[in-house]
Every structure is written in C-alpha cells, then in structure tokens.
Amino acid sequence: MKRLIKISIIFIILVFFLTLYLYVAYYHKRDLNRAISDYNRTLDINSRDASAYVSRGNVYYNKGDLDRAISDYNRALEINPRLAEAYTSRGIAYAKKGDLDKAISDFNRALEINPRLAEAYNNRGLAYYYKGDLDRAISDYNRALEINPRFAEAYYNRGLAYIKKDNLNRAISDYNRALEINPKLAEAYTSRGIAYAKKGDLDKAISDFNRALEINPRLAKAYNNRGLAYYYKGDLDRAISDFTKALEINPRYAMAYYNRGLVYYHKGDLDRAISDYTKALEINPKHAEAYLGRGAAYINKGDLDRAISDFTKALEINPRYAEAYYNRGAAYANKGDLDRAISDYTRALEINPRDADAYYDRGLAYIKKGNLNRAISDFNRALEINPKLAEAYFNKAVVCEKVGRIKEAIEAYKDFIKYAPPQYYSYIEYAKQRIEALSK
C-alpha cells in the first residue's frame, strides 16, 4: 500500500492568475516613443500644461517606466493640486510598484476632489484587494457601480473579490453582468471559467476558456487555465498541450512551467517534471510550490537529499507551508531519520490540524520507533478526519493486534475491508484471515 507523496492540492487558487483592470487614460498609438516626443514638444511650448504631464506620464506607465511616470504626475500636481486625474494615475503607478498604501492615499485625494470619480473607487478597490481587505474592495466596487452602472471592469473586479471570498455564485453573476456590457471582455470569460472550475463544473469552465481564446488567441492565461481544467478531468495530454501553448506565447510564464511539471509528475515522467520545475524556479526563485513539486519528484527518483533540500527551500520562502513539512517528513522517514520525520509531521499538523495523511504517516513513524500506543492514537485521529482512509484501518488493526487490543483489531480489519479499493486484494484477504483467527 504505497502512498503518493503529497503535492499541494490548493494550487488551482495559486495557479489561476486573474487579470486585474487598472483604469488609466492609455495612449492608443503603437509608437510610444513618438507619443513622448509629441508631449515633449507640447511642454516645450507650455511648461505649465499639467494635462500634458499626466498624458506623458501615462505613456511612460505603458512603457513600464514607472519612476518617470510618477515624476510626471508629481509635476502635474505641482502645477494643479486639484487635478484628480493625476492623483488617480499616480495611484495606479504606485500600485504597480507594490506601494499600496501610497496608492490608496492618492485615490483618496482624487475622491476628495471628485467624489463622483468611479475609476478612483474601482482602483482603490483593487488596492484593497491586493492588501487582502476584500470587504473594503467590494464596498469600493459597489460605489463605482452606483456612479456608473455600465462599468464592466468594476463588475469584473468585484467578481475577483467574490472568488477570493469563495462566493462563487456572486462572482459568476458579476462576470455575467460584465459580459452583458462588454461581450468582448476575454478576461471575464477566463475568470468566470475559474469560478465554474472551483464549483466543479469543468465543462462550463472549458467552454468559457474557449470563448476567451476566440476573442484573444494570445491570452496565455486562458490556455493555462484550460490546461488545469483538462488536468482535473484527467485529460493529461490536452493539459500538457495547453500549458505548452501558454509557454509559446509567454516563455517567462513560471506558473505554466509549474503546471506542466505537475502533469508530467502525475504521468510518471519525472525527468521532464524536474526540468519544468527548474525552469519555473529560474524565472521565479520565490516559487515555493515549484520547490515542493521538484522535491516530490526527487523523492520518487530516490534522491532524498535533493528532495529535503528543495522542501527546506520551500519552507524558507513560506514557513507556514504545511505540505512542505509533510513532504520533508516523508523524505526523512524514507532515510530512516524517524525523529526528524515525526518533528516535521508534527509541524505540518500545527499548521493544518485537519491533515489526515500527516497523522497517518506520523503513526507509521511511531510504529517503527516501537511507540505503538502513539501510533494507534494517530491512526484514530486520521480516521476522525477521514473515516474512509483504508490504510489507517489496516495499520491500526495490525498494531492493536500486537498490543492485545483484539476487539479493536477485529473492528479495524472489518472497516479496512469495507473501504479498501480492489487493488488491495491481497491485504483484504489477509484481513479476512486475521478476523477469522482472532474471532475464535
């Protein structure tokens, strides 16, 4: 009864990246350098033209030059401290730099000047979203929609917040409304697909990802998300194909490498899995899940020291990563270092007390150390959480038999037979024999 190494099963939330709309007066010419040149000439003629500074700042923002953008917004505000648009645009730039408090401060200033500025409410909502303050985010989206009931992006963003709160029906309702207003909003199809996937309706999810790709065939995130849906349906080859398409569009898409590595891992192609996890880590060295996945692949290849090293790196990035403690504990157990294994299983359980597998595996470690009563206790805890965990019944029965707790052993063997899958045929036969022998 070999058990699989655990890779985080919450990755759908970590992997389904959601495009967040930031409302800014984008310059629509392709040639951004020419646009900057045009604004330079305008400012040569009138160096006090605050709107020109804002417009040039917006172009710098679109070029990714956030510091120059902020500098131009600052200059505009020196000229006209009541220019709400400049505060809004500067707030967006601060948000892009990760300075959410400065962003919120600027959106507040914009709203003091113009309390009917729906875009400022929308953008402040995004800043609160990034800070994890979902209730304030939703409140701001509500205000934006009161001012502008046709604000598709505000419906979209409110849907993101509802997904985070696991209010999937409200999220879907908001995406529906956004798509009624703007049927070409590919990201809304993508995010509605995520909501359907989280509800377990994978066919509807795939349909939405398809619609998104019809609108924008270069939307790498839609390929990534459709790949995840195929993965959950068990169609691993289609999943790999979609992750590969995502990477053709965006070769720096670390999550797509991670997801493809996960599929290769489940196909048993450990070398390709390790290669993809490694590529993900080259792009994003702080990708704790990629260290976890690569470590699991190393365990399955028998390279326990490398596995332990990767799990340790994952924990350096995220000290609350229960799955990393669990998997490192499994690696230590395989090396015969039972004390360290038990320590890691215990740490995993402190973070996630509902992890039946951690109780089960700690119980196995206690058996090897000869601490049979503690093993039984851990098997019991595992079964309280997962009453269908067949392996826990079997091992509990064996240990109860050894310590003379015969009635408990018989009941545990019976429960094992009840829940054991057909491939455990030999163990089922053994359990039947033991029940017969112990009942005499």
The upper half-sphere exposure of residue 435, i.e. CA atoms within 13 Å in the direction of its Cβ, equals: 15
Residues 366 and 345: their CA atoms lie apart, in Å, by: 11
Helix locations, 338-424, DSSP H: 338-351, 356-369, 372-385, 390-402, 406-419
Query: Smallest Cα–Cα separation from 375: which of 388, 386, 362?
Result: 362
CATH architecture of 353-440: Alpha Horseshoe (1.25)
Q: Contact 204/173 with Cβ under 8 angstroms?
A: no
Q: Mean pLDDT for each consecutive 10-residue tract of the chain (440 residues)?
A: 43 33 45 87 93 93 93 97 95 94 97 96 94 97 97 95 96 97 95 94 97 96 95 96 97 96 96 98 97 96 97 98 97 97 98 97 97 98 97 97 96 97 95 94
Radius of gyration of the chain measured on its C-alpha atoms: 28
Structure tokens at 373: 């009563």
pLDDT for 258 equals 96
Report how far apart, in Å, the C-alpha atoms of 264 and of each of 11, 236, 267, 272, 274 are. Answer: 16, 8, 5, 6, 9
| Tokens matching residue 137 | 């985010």
Q: What secondary structure letter does DSSP report for 424?
A: G
pTM summary value: 0.85
pLDDT at 38: 87
DSSP 25: -
Rounded CA-CA distance 229/198 in Å is 10
337 SS3 class: coil
Is the alpha carbon torsion for 281, 286, 287, 288 positive or negative? positive
Domain ranges of the chain: 353-440
Q: Which residues contact 370 (CB under 8 A, 6 or more apart)?
A: none
- pLDDT of 68 reads 96
Q: pLDDT digits over 13-38, tens only? A: 333 333 344 444 434 445 888 888 88
For residue 57, the 8-state DSSP code is H
Amino acid letter, 286: K
